[in-house]
Amino acid sequence: MSLPALACSLTLSALSWQAIDDVVMGGVSASSARVTEHGTVLFSGRVSLENNGGFASIRSADRRLDLSGGNGVALKVRGDGKRYKLSLRTGGGFDGVQYQAPFETAAGQWQVVPLPFAAFEPRWRGRLVPDAPALDPAAVLSIGVVIADRQTGPFSLELDCLDPLTVSAP
């Protein structure tokens, strides 16, 4: 099966990444992000519920990322069959609102995941922020990926690129 063609306007290996795991609140989950020999970003690690933990994430360093070229984004990934969330941040600082949209992966297969901006919910520390302003795609400063939702054990997600996309309604 062939994948839809992407322009790959944002190659994710060009960004600087940091892991932010549940250790910030006493958990013991661990993850990392590294650039592979193929020029992709490998987000991998282990999620644990010990010590009230349960999430692992990576986030790019702040940099203006104008994603306003459509009504959503397309993300090219190779997953492990687990569920992840793509996070977009528009505010600077470490601990602010993130706009998150969930996506499923197929184990061992490259896929292009279309995510309409309407699917991104404002969240702070995992909690919905109902009075937050709508996501402004032109103001995105950072992107990230989160694995949570009681999905324990090892995980591995390879990230290639992201493009603004016009997503048709289902």
User: Is the pTM value of this prediction over 0.85?
Assistant: yes
Q: Residue 112, CB half-sphere, CA atoms under 13 Å: how many?
A: 18
Domain that holds residue 157: 10-165
| 3 assigned to some structural domain | no
Which has the minimum average pLDDT: 9-18, 20-29, 142-151, 160-169?
160-169
| 4 assigned to some structural domain | no
**5-14, 35-44, 92-101, range with greatest mean pLDDT:** 35-44
Q: What is the mean pLDDT of residues 72-100?
A: 92
| Cα dist from 155 to 30, 57, 61, 147, whole Å | 10, 11, 22, 8
DSSP state of 83: E
- Check residue 5 and give its pLDDT: 72
CATH assignment of the domain containing 94: 2.60.120.430
Q: What is the mean pLDDT of residues 1-28?
A: 86
| 96 assigned to some structural domain | yes
Q: What is the pLDDT of residues 34-59, one digit of tens each?
A: 999 999 999 999 999 999 999 999 99
Number of domains within the chain: 1
Q: What is the mean pLDDT of residues 64-71?
A: 89
* C-alpha–C-alpha distance, residues 162 and 64, integer Å: 14
pLDDT at residue 170 above 60? no
Per-residue exposure over 30-51, b if at least 16 CB sit within 10 Å of its own CB, e if not = bbebeeeeeebbbbbbebbeee
Helix, strand, or coil (residue 117):
helix
DSSP state of 65: -
pLDDT at residue 154 above 80? yes
